[in-house]
Copies of this chain bind each other. A is one copy, B any other.
């Protein structure tokens, strides 16, 4: 799949950005990833993935204000672009379509209706 748009980890982070909304900055994303998956991530891996996602045009970001807390450095807040949104949507549609064809999954469980 040469033209693959997005990897698994990337897709998860992209979704987490969408979920975290205003709170979508690297550290929080890493924390959320760990809490949702019970798997460890290094913050570096998160940063480099967010960068990649930005290069691909799926995310954009801007620096937030520095908060008056200890270590309150300014955070870079990420948001999903239209293209990222579309990618997520397509990926989801495709997966659901396949799942619905797979007898082991198709048992009336997931009926996708837009």
Would you call A103 an interface residue if the criterion is a C-beta within 8 Å of the partner chain's C-beta atoms? yes
* Interface of A, helix, strand, loop or mixed by DSSP: helix
Mark each residue of chain A from 31 to 47: 1 if its CB lies under 8 Å from any CB of chain B, else 0: 00000110101000000
Interface residues on A, range: 35 or more
Contacts of A99 on B, CB cut-off 8 Å? 15, 92
Cα separation A104 to B114 with both chains bound (whole Å): 12
Contacts of A98 on B, CB cut-off 8 Å? 12, 15-16, 19, 36
Copies in the complex: 2
Q: Of all chain B residues, which has the CB nearest A15?
A: B98
Cα separation A19 to B97 with both chains bound (whole Å): 11
Mark each residue of chain A from 43 to 73: 1 if its CB lies under 8 Å from any CB of chain B, else 0: 0000000000000000000000000000000
B19 lies within 8 A of A102 (CB): yes
